[in-house]
Structure 1
């Protein structure tokens, strides 16, 4: 087994190899395509046209890759990374074609561009595959201590055990009543995961202990933590205070967002009209019933509006069952509907909702009023997601899954509202493409649990309870 490396400098150095490696693979793909096209004698005019656009193409590659989230730590698996890399390559090709036109680089052969795209895809995906595995080999295999009530920790453990093997191994669950054991436990682990319901004083004690022991801390945020994420330090006389501003968007932000929404929705309706026509025909001729499915959803400030989408279920799917979430392999979904859900093409009619002002391009996904009432009774902070217009896509959709719990989706939505910017909207739009390619939207809600994983969670949670009971018995 290799020696575990905890050097922060080495970890940062390892991470900063990503961008140069990506650039090398992208430019290497261009060079190989020139060699395949012209052999060993590349015409000077063609090569000089390439050199003219080279700096801008490299910059575009870095911007696309950064916008797709490829320069942040990834624990969730390799396939999302590869899908994002392929999307980035497509963006680089489009940017290079535009640059050759703007910079009058007409001698740049189009055949080289066509050859470069698959070569770059293979090179970048191979590089990312090797990097991901080597990075996990060096910096993974960390012992993780989960701190929190066993019932809540069990939900968190389900997420941790879903991660690819090799990143974390759950050491144990430490309930709040045994926090006195934390300093000793920290000598046995590499990182600590803290559940959101823990008292603020306990969180502060855990953070202090981890800082002293130089251990990583993963904190599942609640509303208080998210609100502090954009808080600014100011002062009253010589007293330092943290100023927490209103979570709502300012009127200039709302105005810019609306202008961008109208422009993108109008452009999308024009460019995607042939695709929407094909989708409508597919729905019409593969199952009886209307092409569009119109449903009431909760919008800004909870006000209801009529949402449009292509019908993906059999007509009258909820007549007997009432409003229920779609499940994995739901028999009510039509064959055409399954494809439309997988590619998210069923959402295209919502461009009309955006154009009308009911929705935004980016924002929390709108829910049905019956589910909103249910979630608000279970999660008091749920009402804050209605401070902005709902969106076609959102941070919860590109970061989570269809089966992500409402409380976890809410954390993403509140973080989006708290940290809103036009740049964040652009990043979410970019990251929606590889997510749609992954077909996550078609999988539905899964109400089953893998028995192996369930057994592992049961053993970890019960182990913490038994230890606590043994400790109490020892006191008597």
Structure 2
């Protein structure tokens, strides 16, 4: 599978530069596209290997697969450009051919990776990983799960407490081709199975159902004692730096470009009733810390809801005529770009909710205990839930659950490219039937 994916990446890069070399809209490049390709491919392969573009994690996760490959390709391109600049070797290059080759190759890599992950099982004739599940002293299910290749009920011949070479040899024969061996047994037998698996030269796992409620994601140690890892920040240091630079670039650029419009909006809000321009409300941010969010005021001064216990409705009498316009066009959210520059918010992330927000007369955190998990990352000006159409009032519990599911999916599968895609899709939902 790795070789097939590597070959696919090489074909994608080659096809991109070959096509760019033969596009008639560019001047004759005298084979420069082929030269550029010959430099890029040998550089891409080791960089892709270092960035784990070929690993078990990418075989079933299409966006992770595409992200790692395109990141490796972007880094390879950057290295080529840097070396060419310092060696002054780019003067004879056709820049149009190079740019076209890079863009086409990146597109082909993404398409081939998407198709590969989607059809990976069929390409290799089934599930590529073999999982042996052993049931010792507990009943085995009648039907094996889709993730289980071999199901074994442990009897006398597989009893690890009978220290016999023949017993261990029989067990070794059963698991000789396994990638994972998972044992389900009573608590008093876990230790002997752990000892058995440690000598089996395989990834051995023992099921502990009582840990399900904790949802551990790993194991660490404190003073020599094993501990269960139940949480960690969704983004590493490198990813946080990339996301922060993206936020600053987008927020700063948009504020600069829209400054005249924002000044006009602020002036109209002030002139309509001489009230404050901004509506300031306390909301929950990253790490469950409270912050003050900024919005253009769209309601009459005396009727603003600082707590947010009442969601805005379609014919809400608290909203001013001009406020109705800026809410419908999402212009009222623009001051949150200041929150982004301050570091309270991000361009893309889970939308921050008012503290008093409810659905079916229940506060959000009373509806789903996972609600607080969404705050492991900065709240966003836009988010995955919003581009999926989950906007407006939360009348039913499902309104909150649908948004929460999207938020948790975003945390689990974050990439900077997904942020870019969500931002682009946001332009299609700025005018939305639920924006009132």
How high is the TM-score relative to the length of structure 1? 0.47
Q: Note the alpha carbon deviations across 1:263-321, whole angstroms, 9 max, x for none.
A: 6554444444455448859989xx9999977544223565543324689xx86899999
Segments of 5+ residues of structure 1 without an aligned counterpart are: 1-12, 143-179, 193-202, 209-216, 327-331, 417-423, 448-476
Give ranges in structure 2 of 5+ residues lacking alignment: 128-137, 149-182, 191-206, 315-320, 391-398
Aligned to 1:155: none
The whole-number CA distance in structure 2 between the counterparts of 1:70 and 1:277 is 44
Matched, 1:112 2:97: yes
Map of 1:404-419 to 2, 5 A cutoff? Answer: 405=402, 408=405
Correspondent of 2:219 among 218, 231, 256: 231
Q: 1:382 to 1:349 in 2, by over 3 A?
A: same
> Does structure 1 conserve the Cα–Cα contact (< 8 Å) formed by 2:29 and 2:97?
no
Is 1:71 matched with 2:58? Answer: yes
Quick check: 1:305 aligned with 2:276?
no
- Picking from 394, 397, 421, the partner of 1:434 is 421
Q: In the TM superposition, what whole-angstrom CA distance separates every residue of 1:147-199 from its partner, at most 9, and x where no partner exists? A: xxxxxxxxxxxxxxxxxxxxxxxxxxxxxxxxx9862233xx6359xxxxxxx
Compared CA separation, residues 380 and 321, structure 1 to 2 (3 A): closer
Alignment correspondent of 2:368: 379
Residues 116 and 261 (structure 1), Cα distance of their counterparts in 2 relative to 1, 3 Å cut: closer
Q: What whole-Å deviation, never above 9, does each CA across 1:77-116 have from its counterpart, x for those lacking one?
A: xxx7999799879957984785454564333312203433
In the alignment, which residue of structure 1 is the partner of 2:143?
185
- 1:436 is paired with a residue of what secondary structure? helix
Number of equivalent positions: 338
Q: What is aligned with 2:20? A: 33
Structure 1 distance, partners of 2:59, 2:265, is 39
- CA shift in 2, pair 1:27/1:231, >3 Å: same
Displacement of 1:25 in angstroms is 0.7
Paired residue for 2:227? 243
Asked whether 1:392 is paired with 2:380, we answer: yes
Moved more, 108-117 or 120-129: 120-129
SS of corresponding position for 1:183? coil
- For 1:38 and 1:181, the matched residues in 2 are separated by 69
The answer to whether 1:20 aligns with 2:7 is yes
Q: Equivalent residue of 2:21, what SS?
A: helix
Kindly indicate whether the alpha-carbon contact (under 8 Å) linking 1:294 and 1:308 is maintained by their aligned counterparts in 2. yes
DSSP-derived class of the 1:442 partner:
coil
1:234/1:16 CA distance change after superposition, 3 Å: farther
Alignment check: 8 A CA contact 2:345 2:379 kept: yes
Question: Which residue does 1:462 correspond to in 2?
Answer: none
Which runs of structure 2 are paired with 1:335-350 in the superposition (5 Å)?
A: 349-350=335-336
Alignment of 1:326-337 (within 5 A): none
Residues 411-448 of structure 1, C-alpha deviations (whole Å, 9 max, x = no match): 558x76xxxxxxx9xx532321223344599399999x
Structure 1 counterpart SS, 2:141: helix
TM-score w.r.t. the length of structure 2 is 0.50
- Quote the offset at 1:29 in angstroms: 0.7
Counterpart secondary structure, 1:20 = helix
Larger radius of gyration: 2
Map 1:186-335 → 2, pairs under 5 A: 186=144, 190-191=146-147, 224-225=214-215, 228-232=216-220, 242-244=226-228, 247=231, 265-277=247-259, 280=262, 295-300=281-286, 302-308=288-294, 322-323=310-311
The Cα RMSD (Å) is 6.5
Is structure 2 residue 342 aligned with structure 1 residue 356?
yes
- Which of 345, 352, 355 is the equivalent residue of 1:366? 352
Q: CA 1:53/1:125 → structure 2, altered by over 3 Å: closer, same or farther? A: closer
Deviation at 1:323, TM superposition (A): 1.4
